[in-house]
Amino acid sequence: MKIVSVFSFFLVFAIEPAVATSTPAQYAGEETREIKSLSQSEIADLLSGRGMGLARAAELNGYPGPMHVLELASQLKLSGSQEAKTREVFSRMQASAKELGAQLVDAERSLDLLFKTKQVDQSSLARTLEKIATLQSRVRGVHLRAHMEQAALLTSEQISQYAKLRGYTGGASGPREGHGHKH
């Protein structure tokens, strides 16, 4: 009985590597991407200034996004002033996000090129990663600040209605009193 157990143990380890190599790698097909670390969709989102979920912390905690507020303007009963200011917030956000998004795509392209050309070393890697991290933070900050600005333009009733219209039933409360939104 002991010999069968030992034999089974060795058989499993002998077969396991063969099974592992026959399974497609997680990144199979991505080697043909222009920039290996970004999909075409991610590149398009960054270049167009889309949010890509970067402001989810704000959105799901009662700080509406300007694009969605504009989409829901009639249901939220925005005043003319609120709508005009929301358009300004959205335009500023999108312009900044597009500019930073283009810089981020370029930085990712540089990282890809370092590896593709085998020119990467510890120093170039550190510099490029620092640049990418800074740009990612700045892109996210643009979107989060826009949500903060947007919340300050709405009443608490509008924020509550926005949450309902967006399907956030988990009790997303708006900003606390004193944080800039109207009551």
What does the alpha-carbon distance between residue 62 and residue 159 come to, in Å, rounded to a whole number?
A: 7
Residue 46's pLDDT is 97
The 3-class secondary structure across 94-108, one letter per residue, is HHHHHHHHHHHHHHH
Q: How many Å apart are CA 76 and CA 172, to the nearest integer?
A: 16
pLDDT tens digits, one per residue of 71-95? 999 999 999 999 999 999 999 999 9
Q: What string of DSSP letters covers 117-158? A: TT---HHHHHHHHHHHHHHHHHHHHHHHHHHHHHHHHSBHHH
- On the CB side of 80, CA atoms within 13 Å amount to 0
What is the pLDDT confidence band of residue 179, given thresholds at 50, 70 and 90?
very low
Q: What pLDDT score was predicted for residue 120?
A: 98
Question: Considering the entire predicted model, what is its pTM?
Answer: 0.80
Q: Would you say residue 115 has pLDDT above 70? A: yes
Residue 175: closest CA among 36, 20, 45, 58:
58
pLDDT for res 31 = 87
Mean pLDDT of the chain: 88
Give the DSSP per-residue string, 54-67.
TTHHHHTTT---HH
- pLDDT (0 to 100) of residue 175: 61
Tell the burial category of 59 from Cβ atoms under 10 Å away from its Cβ (0-12, 13-18, 19+): buried
CA angle, 136 as apex, 130 and 142 as ends, to 5°? 135
Q: Hey, what's the torsion of the CAs at 94, 67, 53, 151, to 10 degrees?
A: 100
Q: Which two tokens stand for residue 157?
A: 């009733």
CB atoms within 10 A of CB 16: 10
pLDDT tens track for 142-153: 999 999 999 999
User: What are the backbone angles phi and psi of residue 182, rounded to the nearest 5°?
Assistant: -80, 150
Query: pLDDT tens-digit profile of 1-58?
Result: 555 554 454 445 555 555 555 678 888 888 888 899 999 999 999 999 999 999 999 9
